[in-house]
Structure 1
């Protein structure tokens, strides 16, 4: 790791040209130019173990910007590093250079030829976005890597990416037809088939030189280049040796663009890339083969590939167990298991004829029976269940990185490739190596081509670097023994660059240097990669070097659950504890982010709404986590969580908790924001708006008592505008309206005493939308329950403390939580369920209450707390819900799930309850956050962002829906946003059920 301060001193010798370059970039470019410490820090890491702070960051708005940035950097003599999504595993996209991020703007489709099956794209286009664009044409780009939701075509070309189906389609290099690139000297060159390059052109000159180098070292190429498909180390010089057999060559013609593929941005910067497309298979079937031992899975792979599958992917026991711990993945992985296998193989067959694929699946079952494993295959012929399981497999890296504690699976030998006939023996011997160093490896991925991702669990803060070196040396010996490739998919970067010479020999390594000098004589494009690289264990470049430490601070939450020790061999965890450092658990929770960039996805889920509207790294879960890590380790000054960098990076975080569920490592930015808000309030004090938001449960009873007067202020524009201006509220919003006091009303006791329930009525549903509480009470009573309410005579109603948490008043929130806990525990002790209506309030009991330090009481309340519809589903499953329902006059219900419902997988119960109503068709709107998010959408500086979030998918879906469709949304904020954005009313599910009571 190089800290921001250290990096700054290292640049003192050329501070003037850098300063002048920054000024010129800001003056001449239309795009963003970022040279502040926090922005540079966010681009100092990728998905590897390394950290190097860049000189600055440029986000070009168009191709002209890209050309200007390269020209200005060349004039200043500053290195350049082109970067896509920053998902590289080996450190390819970190360096002390001017980083150029093409993902926000340079991401379009330039040309398309359906008949020729080709497409030309800009480098920043995301693979999934491209395939979504191609799908209506029956085509796709088949290099389907696991990071397809976030990785870019430019980054894939730079790494020579492969993907799960390379056994059928090959690697990136086999599917790139041409590249228009800018060379370090400023020349723009079209790279393509050599026999089509014009005589006397720059491209033809380069091609002739490259071919001459290849012919000169041809004998060395034929001896030292691995004869496996998965070989992505060094430069692709073997493709220019006419006598060298190619493992996969659909063209049979030399293509100069193939030298750029896998070059990791060291030779040129791509402007446009021409791709070969494939027909989209009409039908796929999947067989999940369960194995009692890992060795058997490896040994059988060589027989399975003879059935001509399109993919054979491994999931090992460690990944299975971690998937079962994730609420989003558990129901999916359970369907694929027979008993408790040590490993499973996902075997896919794809093509245009469904019957042929089903026959292939039958042959797989027969093969396994012939090999002594009858009944070991789970057949998955339907697309939905296949897609769900593939999503779990794609999340494999992140799932493995979800281990808590200092020890983490470390990437450095993770994609060595060996011939299939040696795969079982290789994995067995490498496992023995891990055991010699007191650790275990986590295995997954591409069994079909002999490339298994394996990461030994190491603690890089202690002895991890030493073990990494020794394990790498022994792994390399095994790779050489089995005539494999040391770099089989993820490239060289910083962690394998020094092994290029070992793999290919000094003669070819010198040829690689010659190639680099031919294209980049001044060594300005991504220096230190592929040739003349640092050692893999150079402590200066680690994200967590030996001297890494955190600054002292006292978190408000209890983070000890993240401060655990795990035995790498057994997987057993020690009891959590603070280890004398209250910051450590918080730091460990922040460091759960592995930088893989899963939060950059746009296709589904909640995460991350602010990134979806800005496409800026600072408004991304990863960008926020990186900023917090830099802050907690003192690399962004000494203000800690109260500093301006933290305030800025969390400004658009809506605390949706989407990351808590959608992030496979469980990064919970909403909880980090509570820590940061509490620290800032402690240091800077409360604003008037903070008090207005936080104290809502206190003044709501008085506002309700004088509701006619309070509500009238909105009808007097002069008064309303002054109030909003004084509080910093958006003038477009209406002030909250109050309607009575549900808990203050007289409620007759109904139902028997053997079936009881506590209806927890929150501030919003008590004072503002009491009809929801009345409906819920009536439904529960109709089901035969005796309904208790969360109020005692003479006392203020109970409150979860959510408004205090969101405004930074942690101590007030904790006191409210303690008061609530004390009142509810007698009910919990006698087995009464606590049922709530507002997701953000009820789910606070299931989440934040657990980190207040309340111990077992909080855990028991969490287990007893249900959202209204969750309780109904549970009661019906126990045959304790004798509700008779009738049609409600609507044929269709449009359901929008509250973000916290999504985070706790609590949207499905709403769908189930709605489907109980006869004749009602239920459609769930696939949306991220509605954008209101409590007070966020009311705040004047956030109003536009709030509406942009709503316009991503929610409001367009509502506008396109039938006017007679009933809109259902359990969240108070969601209902208000729907009303403000569409003019239509959404109701709580309880009110619709009340209408349906027979």
Structure 2
């Protein structure tokens, strides 16, 4: 599904050039020439950073053509960009970047019978396949970045995907490209006999045919005879004597010279694709290997069973996956013991029984190879998808290593014949050891392409080691007659190796082709032809002299400050509190720019990007801005800069990135530091103070709840007050009620001896006491002696989260200290701490650990549970008995709070509701509700808040059957649902209490 973004105005940067002035005057789309905007487009998923001239985000094809025309007249170089996921530096350069991903993502033409489709270059692969699914079709070049990469980028890189052994690469699946040349010539590049050949296009066709005929011997001799080779230009398309040439019905296709050209020859504005029928069934066999070598050596035998995919996951990736909450349960199901590598072998077809037989044949083969009982069969579609999601996240999982040493992409796509795969990987591992490092391995064992990344420190000696390793790896590739560039293209890191791979004659031929299409070198200059050295340090993200500004952090970031011994390559984590500032910088740098946060499928991340499709408002864009800011590239203000405040403006601290980002970028936590820096320099507003200090004045406000509610109901007074302090008048204000904790005391001791501490937060104490009352009823009915977080004459305990939202970290720490002091006696006795509000209770498991309170905080975190988590735990331990009766309504729909999802604490909610007899429970597949504490109440964020809710949550509730019970544990979520639908959602505790009363 293609989501159309809403537009939020931005402050225009000063006009810096005639090019910027013309573009801004004549285009309807965004024209971005500010330092921060350019900085966000200066990187992709590679190790490089080059500041572009400016950025254009065209609104439609007319805008695009106008931008190209203006750039031509101003002699500006052009760089096309989609998802910005290129790993070799293809989409960075000193040029005018044109971002196709926001608006140029439409289906232009579709023919289900012919199985073809024409799309714009910004169409995301997963969106395309979702669009095609009702027709039983898909585009089968299924790359791991399918959730964020665009068709234009895939064509530019000649992408391949996990199932290329069955379906081929992009060049085998692109039928035609509507493109614009640097001189403004437009045309459809397709089979030569079908082309409308203007004089300009005719001269190109004739000249390329002459070059291909002249270089026939070199093409046969030099172009590697492996499926995975994407370096240089596809000149063999026009070598009619070459049986390996890519043809359509025996006819050369000029579009195929553009595929893999990385935008250096023409600007692709529409692309015609060949589609394939969706396989009706799939099965997966996961082979566990005791050694990496055995896995590699077995691949050549496995492919004889004709699988559609054979994918590798090595021990490093297994271990990292086990440390990621979202992936741990998935990867555990695939393991037999402690393998050093696993291979995912997929079979697909229309006959399920036949596929199961092929799984049995796979097990027989592995027994013959000495590995009986080492194949885990996965026939269930959901289990298969979950494991493929882990494999697809391979790059990001590898990049989740903390510290300066990171897996670096530069030799990762070398492809060798399968019979040499084991020997190649063995020798390459020896090379890594020679330079005191290890390599991480994953990817396409079926076609001899393994994504291997040596772990290097690019801040220090990494560049020298990169060069040395590349030279030795290239010698091995040549020895085994492989391809140095096997999937991810050339870009900046492999461009210089094009001449090495193809020799001087073909390299000169590539230069001729480039000059034929683009004589002024304006389209993505210095890629493929006449590229810089791979280790040109001025192009690196971490350039010589890179440093962070002095930072005074409020939280403990030492866990990110992993140290690496340059002599041995061994990395040692520091002790708690060691170099907090360096740890913050490294936490920001965990973002590898792969763009997983730009996805739109199930999950939370990233709600602000989903509604804007703006690089400012996505985790990657924020991380890049923060990195630029703390390294002084945006001035001396660091975290307190206006640029940082701008990119964090729509961040709702949902913590979706904490869970969904495979590299572990925790933007909500980083935002606390940025807010604290801003508050220290600029102070905070009255509105911020009203939110931050709510736990302090709530006892007084609760005594005057009736008067406050009366004022709210008088539109003139209520709206005037809201506008005066910056709140949205459309919002209904939370109503203060009599405090629950002021009227309650600990329940009588139970014969069972079971105890629990009910941690009643500010919201459920003063605004929705009925939730706390229901939780008490349920816990007591289950036989628990219930304690409460209050003492005579003292203000109730508080998690301190409201202070964090205003950047008042010291006040939040004080609340945490007070809470720890009060709760530790219960923790010492093993009494569970149970909470109702996810954002509050989970602060005890997250933020409390960042304050430097050491073992006390860790012990509390391990003993703190959300209400539903506690009930599920107790029932599994056979300690919980509840006599629940059917409810008048037999349907319930559940919305998960973002923090519940981030901490894998949501699944217990629908689970406990299913204990109620005859209740049909379903989960609303939703991202953030958009309210996010005070965010949705703020005047300037009201529109964004509603837009987030309208993505899926509110429409799902409006479509529900009458009488459905809506369940949402978050206070903010309930308010958003009530404001947006006039339905009254309930906390799960209230639903259980209702079932008790029935």
Report the CA distance between 1:58 and its aligned residue.
Answer: 0.1
Give the corresponding residue for 2:799: 800
**Partners of 1:988 and 1:967 in 2: how far apart?**
9
Aligned-partner SS, 2:750: coil
- Is the alpha carbon distance of 1:601 and 1:405 closer, same or farther for their aligned partners in structure 2, counting shifts above 3 Å? same
Alpha-carbon distance in 2 for matches of 1:901, 1:527: 47
* Match of residue 720 from structure 1: 718
CA contact (8 A) 1:561 1:576 kept: yes
1:574 Cα deviation from its structure 2 partner: 1.8
Q: Which residue of 2 aligns with 1:42?
A: 40
C-alpha separation in 2, matches of 1:399 and 1:707: 50
CA distance in 2, matches of 1:292, 1:249: 43
Aligned residue in 2 for 1:235: 233
Q: Match for residue 346 of structure 1?
A: 344
How much does 1:572 deviate? Answer: 6.6
Per-residue CA shift, 1:840-867, capped at 9, x if unaligned? 0000010011010101111111101100
8 Å Cα contact 1:969/1:975 also seen in 2: yes
| C-alpha distance in 2 between matches for 1:186 and 1:203 | 12
Q: 1:447-501, CA deviations, whole angstroms, 9 ceiling, x for partnerless residues?
A: 0000000000000011000000000000000000000000000000000000000
What residue is the counterpart of 2:123 in the other structure? Answer: 125
Which residue matches 2:551?
553
1:75 — aligned with what? 73
Task: Indicate whether 1:839 and 2:868 are aligned.
Answer: no
Equivalent residues of 2:188, 2:196 under 8 A apart: no
Determine the structure 2 residue equivalent to 1:333: 331
Q: Shift of residue 17 of structure 1?
A: 11
Alignment of 1:450-465 (within 5 A): 450-465=448-463
Q: Note closer, same or farther for the CA distance 1:571–1:135 as it changes in structure 2 (3 Å cut).
A: farther
Please name the residue that 2:361 is paired with.
363
**How does 1:635-714 map onto structure 2 within 5 Å?**
635-714=633-712
Answer whether contact 2:893 2:922 (CA < 8 A) is retained.
yes
Residue deviations 1:147-166 (CA, integer Å, cap 9, x gap): 00000000000000000000
Q: Which runs of 5+ in 1 are unaligned?
A: 1-14
Matches within 5 A, 1:869-884: 869-884=868-883
**Where does residue 773 of structure 2 map in the other structure?**
774
Structure 1 residue matching 2:252: 3-state secondary structure: coil
Does the CA-based 8 Å contact 2:238-2:245 persist in structure 1?
A: no
1: CA distance, partners of 2:570 / 2:475: 31
- Partner Cα separation in structure 1 for residue 577 and residue 77 of structure 2: 43
Match of 1:923 in 2: 922
- Give the 5 Å matches for 1:903-942: 903-942=902-941
Query: Is residue 558–residue 579 contact of structure 2 (8 Å, CA) maintained in 1?
Result: no
Alignment correspondent of 1:632: 630
Q: Which residue does 2:170 correspond to in 1?
A: 172
Aligned to 1:756: 755
Distance 1:537 1:96, change over 3 A: same
**Matching residue of 2:311:** 313
**For structure 2, which runs of at least 5 residues remain unmatched after alignment?**
1-12
Deviation per CA, 1:436-455, whole angstroms, max 9, x where unpaired? 00000000000000000000
- Aligned 8 A contact 1:84 1:124 in 2: yes
Distance 2:451 2:944 in 1: 40
Please list the CA deviations of residues 398-452 of structure 1 after superposition, one character each: whole Å capped at 9, or x if unmatched. Answer: 0000000110000000010000000000000000000000000000000000000
Distance in 1 (alpha carbons) for counterparts of 2:921 and 2:171: 46
Q: What does residue range 435-514 of structure 1 map to in structure 2 within 5 Å? A: 435-514=433-512
CA distance in structure 2 between the partners assigned to 1:220 and 1:247 by the alignment: 14
Deviation at 1:252, TM superposition (A): 2.7
**Alignment TM-score, normalising by the size of structure 2:** 0.97
Deviations 1:850-887 (A, max 9, x none): 01010111111110110000000111111110212111
For 1:234 and 1:75, the matched residues in 2 are separated by 29
Partner Cα distance (1:715, 1:245) in 2: 80
Distance 1:480 1:917, change over 3 A: same
Could you say what secondary structure the match of 2:142 adopts?
Answer: coil
SS at structure 2 position matched to 1:81: strand
1:388 aligns with 2:389: no
1:752, distance to aligned residue in structure 2 (A):
2.3
CA distance in 2: counterparts of 1:289 and 1:571, whole angstroms: 31
Instruction: Report Cα offsets for 1:245-276 as digits up to 9, x if no partner.
Output: 31775633210000000000000101100000
The Cα offsets for residues 674-695 of structure 1, whole Å up to 9 and x where unpaired, read as 1111111100011000111001
Q: Distance in 2 between matches of 1:746 and 1:434?
A: 65
User: 1:857 corresponds to which residue?
Assistant: 856
Aligned partners of 2:564, 2:918: CA distance in 1, in Å?
53
2:621 pairs with one of 623, 646, 655: 623
| Equivalent in the alignment of 1:588 | 586
> Are the equivalent residues in 2 in contact too, given 1:578–1:585 (CA < 8 A)?
no
The equivalent of 2:886 in structure 1 is 887
What TM-score do the two structures reach when normalised by structure 1?
Answer: 0.97
Return the offset for 1:204: 2.8
Q: Which residue of 2 aligns with 1:11?
A: none
| Aligned-residue offset at 1:747 | 2.7
Give the stretch that moved more between structures: 164-173 or 191-200: 191-200
**Structure 1: distance between partners of 2:394 and 2:285:** 18
Mapped contact 1:439–1:568 kept (Cα < 8 A): no
Deviation per residue, 1:741-761 (Å, 9 max, x gap): 100003352242721111000
Task: Please report how far the alpha carbon of residue 892 of structure 1 lies from its aligned counterpart in structure 2 after TM superposition.
Answer: 1.1
| Alignment partners' CA distance in 2, 1:197 and 1:740 | 78
Q: In structure 2, the residue corresponding to 1:987 is in which secondary structure?
A: coil
SS state at 2:967 partner = strand
Structure 1 residue 359 displacement after superposition = 1.4
User: Quick one: distance in 2 between partners of 1:571 and 1:871?
Assistant: 43
CA distance in 1, matches of 2:497, 2:410: 11
CA distance in 1, matches of 2:898, 2:951: 15
Contact 1:578/1:584 (8 A) holds in 2: no
**How many Å apart are 1:93 and its aligned residue?**
0.0
Post-superposition offset of 1:567: 7.0
Deviation at 1:665, TM superposition (A): 0.8
Question: Following superposition of structure 1 onto structure 2, how do residues 727-742 of structure 1 map, counting pairs within 5 Å?
Answer: 727-742=725-740
Cα 1:341/1:248, change in 2 over 3 Å: farther
| Offset, 1:197 | 2.4
How many residues get paired? Answer: 984
Residues 226, 786 of structure 1: alpha-carbon distance in 2 compared, 3 angstrom cutoff: same
* 2:373 corresponds to: 375
Partner of 2:138: 140
Please tell me whether the aligned partners of residues 563 and 577 of structure 1 are also in contact (alpha carbons under 8 angstroms).
no
